[in-house]
Amino acid sequence: MQFDFNGKTAIVTGAGSGIGAAISRDLARFGATVVLADLDESGMATVAGEITSAGGKALTQRADTSAAADVERLVTFAVEQTGALHLLVNNAGIGGPAAPVGEYPLDGWHKVIDVNLNGVFYGMRYALPEIVKAGGGSVVNMASILGTVGFATASAYVAAKHAVVGLTKAAAIEYAKSNVRVNAIGPGFIATPLLDKNLDEATLGVIAGMHPVGRLGKAEEVSALACFLLSEQASFVTGSYHLVDGGYTAQ
Distance between CA atoms of 203 and 69, rounded to whole angstroms?
38
- Toward ligand NAP, which CB reaches closer, 93 or 97? 93
Distance between CA atoms of 128 and 75, rounded to whole angstroms?
10
With 0-12 CB in 10 A as exposed, 13-18 as middle and 19+ as buried, what is 200?
Answer: exposed
Which of these is catalytic: 157, 175, 241, 248?
157
Q: Would you count residue 142 as binding ligand NAP (CB under 6 A)? A: yes
Which residues lie below 8 Å from residue 136, measured CB to CB, with a gap of 6+? 86, 178, 179, 180
Distance between CA atoms of 149 and 167, rounded to whole angstroms?
17
Q: Would you count residue 118 as binding ligand NAP (CB under 6 A)? A: no
- State in angstroms the smallest separation of the CB of 168 from ligand NAP: 13
Establish whether 157 is a catalytic residue: yes
Pick the stretch among 51-59, 81-89, 193-201, 227-235 that binds ligand NAP (CB under 6 A). 193-201
Neighbours of 25 (CB within 10 A): 22
- State in angstroms the smallest separation of the CB of 230 from ligand NAP: 15
- Toward ligand NAP, which CB reaches closer, 92 or 134? 92
Residues that bind ligand NAP (CB under 6 A): 13-14, 16-20, 38-40, 43, 63-66, 91-94, 115, 119, 142, 144, 187, 189-190, 192-195
